[in-house]
Amino acid sequence: MTQTPSGSTDGATPRIAFIGNGNVARSLIGGLVGLGVPASTIVASGPNAGLRDALANDFGVRTHVDNNDAARDADIWVLAVKPQVLRLVCEELSALAREQRPLIVSVAAGIAISQVELWLDADVVPEIGVVRAMPNTPALLGASATALCANPHASTPQRAQAQRLFEAVGIALWVDDESLMDTVTATSGSGPAYVFALVEAMQAAAQEQGLPAGIAQALIAQTILGAGRMLCESGEDAATLRHRVTSPGGVTAEALKCFDAGGFRALVARGIAAATARGAELSAQNDAQSPASM
């Protein structure tokens, strides 16, 4: 008998289990509830009683200590745990996954879809849909940039469910080639840290010129916010917007000339390349620790 995968594809609200109750789970749960998804369709699990209580009190969702209790009867499992514990979590849930065949969504950085499949023992029931997601920390504010990649067993309705899940906290775009997920991690996943580093450098420079710290911080933060909104809302690319605020021979042009002379673009390119390579290294290390490699 062919078993029908779990997953609500008939228009009903899918039941979602968050395995892990840290910041990623909290931001996604908050986004979903804020959009009107019934809290009764969401459940979360995790070892930290304080975090579980906070989710229950703040959003009205059910919580469990045991991952199997949370995942039972859920259509979508969001594996929101640290990469180093994902294997243990998958192995713990593998029997239930084969029984229910939910959509599996992993947000663990550096963990390939094939590793999740292996740890779930999905070769027994190979039709389990798995989506790999890479959100970033602005998800906490509903402003995340998420890239998604799916295995061939994720159905069109399941892919739509995964996309709606992450659109609750920002934008969500599909990447067909999973090998590019390391570049995604190096670009948007780590990207907020690069922006914060730029802000630190700008603030230090402004203070050296005599601007009070509080004023410098407020002006720069608002500048970053405004520039980001222009990129998102104007429909124009960064080069066009940069040219528009750069008068030949003016103040902005002088600063940009210094940046170019210092190799700014080459430095950013090296940083992105180094982060991408490190992501691939971490993924390879995790793969080397899988049972098939032992």
Can you give the residue ranges of every domain in the chain? 16-184, 189-277
Q: Would you say 59 and 42 are in contact if contact means Cβ atoms under 8 Å apart?
A: yes
DSSP string, 23-49: HHHHHHHHHHHHTT--GGGEEEE-S-H
At residue 285, the pLDDT reads 76
Q: How far apart are CA 284 and CA 31, in angstroms?
A: 33
Residue 194 or residue 292, greater confidence: 194
Backbone φ and ψ for 286, nearest 5 degrees, come out as -65, -40
Strand partners, 45: 19, 64
Mean pLDDT for all residues in the chain: 91
At residue 12, the pLDDT reads 74
For 36, half-sphere exposure in the C-beta direction (CA atoms, 13 angstrom radius) is 0
Radius of gyration of the chain from Cα atoms? Answer: 22
Give the model confidence (pLDDT) of 130-157 as tens digits.
Answer: 999 999 999 989 999 999 999 999 999 9
Tell me the CATH number for domain 189-277.
1.10.3730.10
Contacts of 47 (CB under 8 A, 6+ apart): 65
Q: What is the mean pLDDT of residues 183-204?
A: 96
Q: How far apart are CA 247 and CA 226, in angstroms?
A: 19
At residue 9, the pLDDT reads 45
Give the model confidence (pLDDT) of 28-81 as tens digits.
Answer: 999 999 999 999 999 999 999 999 999 999 999 999 999 999 999 999 999 999
Backbone φ and ψ for 12, nearest 5 degrees, come out as -70, 155
Q: Which amino acid is at 45?
A: S
Give the model confidence (pLDDT) of 223-277 as tens digits.
Answer: 999 999 999 999 999 999 999 999 999 999 999 999 999 999 999 999 999 999 9
At residue 2, the pLDDT reads 33
Q: How far apart are CA 226 and CA 172, in angstroms?
A: 22
Contacts of 102 (CB under 8 A, 6+ apart): 5, 6, 7, 17, 71, 74, 75, 76, 77, 128
At residue 288, the pLDDT reads 62
pLDDT at 188 over 70: yes
At residue 4, the pLDDT reads 40
Report the topology of domain 16-184. Answer: Rossmann fold (3.40.50)
Strand partners, 18: 44, 78
SS3 199: helix
Band (pLDDT 50/70/90 cuts) for residue 11 is low
At residue 18, the pLDDT reads 98
